A = this chain, B = another copy of it.
Amino acid sequence: MTVIATGNQANGHSSELSKKPATTSKVASPGDEQLVLNTIRCLAADLCQQYKGGHPGTVMGAAAIGVALWRYEMRYNPANPDWFNRDRFVLSAGHACLFQYLFLHFSGYEAWTLDQIKMYHSPATKGSMAAGHPEIEYPGIEVTTGPLGQGISNAVGMAIAAKQLAATYNRDDLKVIDNKIWCFTGDGCLQEGVGQESISLAGHLGLDNLILVYDNNRVTVDGSIDNCFTEDTSSKLVAQGWHVVDVYDGSNDLAAILEGFDKAKQLKGKPVLVNIRTVIGYSSRKANTGPAHGQALGDDEVAYVKQQLGFDPQAKFVIPSQVYEYFSETKRKGADAEEEWNTLLEQYKARYPDQHTELTRRMKGQWAAPGEDWQALLPSKSALPQEAQPTRKSSGIVVQALVPKYNSFVAGSADLLESTFVSFNDQIEFQKPDSGLGDYSGRQIRYGIREFAMVGLGNGIAAYQKGMFIPIMSTFFQFWIYAAPAARMAALQKLRFIGIATHDSIGIGEDGPTHQPIALASFYRSLPNINLIRPADAEECMGMWTLALDDDLSADTPSIFALSRQPVPLLPGTDRTKVQRGAYIVQGEDVPDGEVELTIIATGAEVSRAIETVKLLKSIGNGNEEEKLKVRVVSMPSQRHFDAQPKEYRDSVLGRGTKSSPKNLVVAIEAWSSYGWAKYAHASLSMHTFGHSAPQQQLYKYFGFEPTNMATKIDEFVSKWRGLGRVPGLGEFEELLLGYAGH
């Protein structure tokens, strides 16, 4: 075999060939390989230069890694990018997307034509798949990456998915799942905390189907990582339970890379880091500098690179025919691999028909069989506990009812399994078999105190094969702020997870303001394509789960359930079927539309307080029952779903009726910030500070959410606006608890 152009790493523009090492004979056609690498380097330079932007350096430095992966090491079928038993490749360093696009092109993914790749930095809005970061929608892209560190977490999640499936479905005589997960990381992803968290957990779990390919070029946007990142990554990962394989000249020594990857595939019991030293911007004079990372090289430098590599400095996008020839085997290899696997699956069907049925159903993204009445497994309202209980506990009823029964669910927590009610009966923990704690068939995952990685892993589990898994993940609602960057990526990628977010307000009590999430809901309500649902009671908990698990409603949408620590009563007016409308009348439906004079909207644990408050309102009858306001109470578990309803429905719930100028006053009650409520209410009773440390009943009182106080505030509000003879207009939204501090 051959080493493909060694030379001065610092400059990276020597072209002398070194001796072929004796260690491997896998690499064929040495001359062609040099040409392949050089072609890819020139293409990267051209692609960035055409629009004077982008990330050329990693492609140029890591071209040999790409060759090793797509030409030799990875198993995939370019004709069927979604073939089930393929290796997964995650480009955690998403900005280096050209690296992936070019190798998809050469490996035979038909959608990835050169014309398509030349649309890099052209409008994706006009049909370019060559987005600035890889996007999950396109063939051969397993997951959308870019926000650094998250790709590592996605890859660890995929490794968990593959291990779990293998342990569930493989039999000694038939291994229908035996693929590898490859993750390509740069220096940036290894600096990010989420990368660290994921690496730590992967080491603990011993995921030996995971290979982390470290493009160790030691340069980021701001230049050398000697400025800020000087730890010994290999030693560190050894301390974290990883195998480490070192490769010292990854911009040239294809043989060593292949040897490293071969070794990585054989190593057992631990995930493997292949630490490959490369030269960013290899073959340019800008090699080893920040500009090579994230800028086009400039016309002169592109010409220089081509000259160095034996290409015509004036010609652009040149691909010698030998390059395609070099990759010509990949299609056939892929087709053979899939065909072989299809044969295996047929044998599996014959020997293990039940498992085959479930596996193939799940491969189609069906967690339950079509038409199966899984809703019937949830207790009816009358069968729910009739005494007050926390919604976190009510949510747990569904976990217990569904999770043990359906293999698609994997339920875990960031160290709060019990208090978030995601543990379930007869569970097996997902742990390495020799740990004595569980095995890989387990569907209960202990993520550790790593909220961000938890959700990043969940995204990887969900992305492994769309719809095959529904990860359930839990922590306190406050700590969904740690996980927010990953939750956003789920919504962007249309990946379904169930997020359990308990202790969802000042109701957490004594833990104090650090743990009281009064602003976070605004983020999740503002984010496209995510269900933030805050149920009023156990009945709405049934509805929230139904909404989140209904394939018609939420197959492409993650959900977060904001749940109470404290008990709430089961309310007469709640209705699980109405949760998916976002809001509905829980009390006062007998008041005709258009005659409503006061509507109180509340969410979650505040709905029962709203109902108590109505009993205490003096408005306006001064004790005279007949003169009292006609009041409705609305539960609004999801603003987003309410917004999606027809106007007539929304007008009815808000008490507008069909009037163009209704006299109905609307007040919202929620123990979070008032932000966003002006869309639905004229006034709100909300939180204005970060909260306090105190028992929850005390806090509700202190911040003004006692029904007696709320009734007074609402009476005053109503009386004021009745006096004015109109309802508040734009710019007149009032916060009725502003400045209030408990009496």
Contact = CB atoms under 8 A, between A and B. Distances in A.
Interface of A: 51, 53-54, 94-95, 121-126, 128, 131-133, 135, 144-149, 187-188, 191-197, 200-201, 203-204, 220-222, 225-233, 235-236, 238-241, 413, 415-419, 429, 431, 435, 437, 446-450, 452-453, 478-479, 481-482, 484-485, 488-489, 491-492, 509-515, 518-523, 525-528, 650-651, 654, 656, 660-662, 666, 673, 675-676, 678-682, 688-690, 692-695, 698-699, 702, 724, 726-727, 729-731, 733, 741-742
Contacts of A125: 692, 694, 698-699, 702, 741-742
Q: Which 6 A-B pairs have the closest CB atoms?
A: A193-B193, A146-B514, A678-B679, A131-B693, A522-B526, A123-B694
B437 A226 contact: yes
B239 A656 contact: no
Contact of A676 (B238, B485, B675): B675
13 contacts: A123-B692, A125-B698, A125-B699, A126-B698, A133-B514, A149-B193, A204-B231, A231-B241, A232-B239, A233-B239, A527-B673, A675-B675, A681-B730
A100 to B, nearest CB: 14
A671 B518 CA distance: 25
Contacts of A689: 528
Contacts of A241: 230-231
A678 B334 CA distance: 54
A9 to B, nearest CB: 20
Nearest to A448: B228
Contacts of A446: 222, 227-228
A123 B698 contact: yes
Contacts of A233: 239
Contact of A228 (B145, B201, B661, B694): B201
Contacts of A53: 510
Contacts of A191: 197, 200, 448-450
A544 to B, nearest CB: 21
Contact of A121 (B232, B510, B651, B692): B510
B221 A419 contact: yes
Given A519-B526, A522-B523, A678-B679, 7 more contacts: A123-B699, A144-B513, A147-B514, A192-B193, A228-B448, A489-B514, A679-B679
Contacts of A435: 226
Contacts of A228: 201, 204, 415, 446-448
Contacts of A192: 193, 197, 449-450, 482
A548 B204 CA distance: 45
B128 A200 contact: no
Given A226-B437, A522-B676, A512 B193 contact: no
Contacts of A196: 193, 196-197, 200
Nearest to A453: B193
A146 B512 contact: yes
Chain B CB within 10 Å, residue with most, of A124, A417, A491: A124
Contacts of A54: 510
Contacts of A187: 449
Given A193-B192, A693-B124, A515 B449 contact: no
Nearest to A194: B193
A601 B267 CA distance: 61
A220 B688 CA distance: 33
Contacts of A488: 481, 519
Contacts of A221: 415-416, 419
A220 B124 contact: no
Given A231-B200, A416-B221, A135 B512 contact: yes
A675 B522 CA distance: 8
Nearest to A702: B125
B227 A437 contact: yes
A504 to B, nearest CB: 15
A273 to B, nearest CB: 12
Nearest to A197: B193
A447 B221 CA distance: 13
Chain B CB within 10 Å, residue with most, of A124, A193, A230, A660: A193
A457 to B, nearest CB: 12
Contact of A238 (B195, B201, B235, B698): B235
A742 B233 CA distance: 46
A85 B146 CA distance: 43
A121 B654 contact: no
Nearest to A120: B510
B528 A673 contact: yes
A347 to B, nearest CB: 37
A238 to B, nearest CB: 7
B229 A512 contact: no
